Amino acid sequence: MAKSRSQPIPDYRSMTEFLRGQASRIFTEVKDQDKVVIVNKQNKPQAVVISYERYKRLKEKSNVDI
């Protein structure tokens, strides 16, 4: 049986956290822990934040328009 790679469980953060000065801490967590963060505004997903290393891996492994 082929070994499947587990998908990261994303963290959900509100836009308010970024607006209240938490962006630096969130970006550091994303980079250091290779997290995936979905940013919500009014409880609706608006953006995804990933580390630059994860971005490079995605670009290398697939032909994805990101």
Domains by residue range for the chain, with CATH: 11-61 (3.40.1620.10)
| pTM for this predicted structure | 0.78
Q: Is the per-residue pLDDT at 23 higher than 60?
A: yes
Report pLDDT for 3. Answer: 44
State the burial class of residue 22 (Cβ atoms within 10 Å of its Cβ: 0-12, 13-18, 19+).
middle
Instruction: Output the six-digit token pair for 66.
Output: 């990101």
As a whole number, mean pLDDT of residues 26-40 equals 96
Instruction: Give yes or no for a contact between 13 and 40, defined as CB atoms under 8 angstroms apart.
Output: yes
Report pLDDT for 6. Answer: 61
Of 8, 5, 11, 7, residue with least CA distance to 48: 11
The overall average pLDDT reported for the chain is: 88
The string of DSSP codes covering 29-42 is HHHHHT-EEEEEET
